[in-house]
Amino acid sequence: GNSVTQMEGPVTLSEEAFLTINCTYTATGYPSLFWYVQYPGEGLQLLLKATKADDKGSNKGFEATYRKETTSFHLEKGSVQVSDSAVYFCALFGGSGGYQKVTFGIGTKLQVIP
Amino acid sequence: SAVISQKPSRDICQRGTSLTIQCQVDSQVTMMFWYRQQPGQSLTLIATANQGSEATYESGFVIDKFPISRPNLTFSTLTVSNMSPEDSSIYLCSGGQGVTTGELFFGEGSRLTVL
């Protein structure tokens, strides 16, 4: 079945540091890939997505590129802020036999300190 | 995107009891789902809530333990029956438009603790 593997946290960075959260996946076919974010006290929300190989999703300064050859979708941001402190979930949408669903990674907690 | 409200937001329950979680969306959505997030683990799909018919359950989840209703396009309930401490978890309602996008929006979750 489909699966998503992402680095376990917590990740602690100083403000303005560079962020990378690794995500790799296993799937049949050509899944769509997502990053969701959960800020403290809030529900998960979609951060960015990519639907085919070499697509780059971006939002709020975050980027991730769909790399089919390495089955990866790493999340990056050049300069993090305290307000980026949250839990980040990598996810894929795919399946087989006419049935598709969203599969999530374990989530990576990011803490940004001033 | 639509806004999802869940209640209760948290509860402490006794072993052997049942609890129903309500999920209200502020607009009509095609798809509604229930997820479970156990401590230190990923989100696990419990079932797809189908309007006016029985929910579609994932492997390892059964209707007797997690009965689900969805009477219309904006409301769904999940009941956790005959609870045990292993059911302590966050239960998340989510919605999506269409079956081909994979884009979901979530409620804030219901944190259940079973003693």
Interface test with A, best of B31, B43, B92 (most A CBs within 10 A): B43
Say yes or no for a CB contact (<8 Å) between B104 and A100: no
Provide the chain B residues 26-85 that lie in CB contact (below 8 A) with chain A: 40-43, 45, 48, 58
CA quadruple B30, B103, A60, A55: dihedral sign: negative
Which DSSP string do the residues of B12-76 spell out, in sequence order? EE-TT--EEEEEEESS--SEEEEEEE-TTS-EEEEEEEPTTS--EEPTT--TTTS-EEEEETTEE
Residue given tokens 């009965």 in the structure block:
B67
Answer with the residue of higher pLDDT: A42 or B46. B46
Say yes or no for a CB contact (<8 Å) between B104 and A46: yes
Confidence of residue B58 (pLDDT cuts 50, 70, 90): very high
Share of chain B above pLDDT 90, in %: 73
Q: Tell whether B106 is within 8 A of chain A (Cβ).
A: yes
Confidence of residue B100 (pLDDT cuts 50, 70, 90): low
CB atoms within 10 A of CB A40: 7
Q: Is the pLDDT of residue A30 over 90?
A: no
* Chain A residues whose beta carbon lies within 8 Å of the beta carbon of residue B102: 32, 34, 49, 91-94, 100, 102
Determine the pLDDT at residue B96: 84
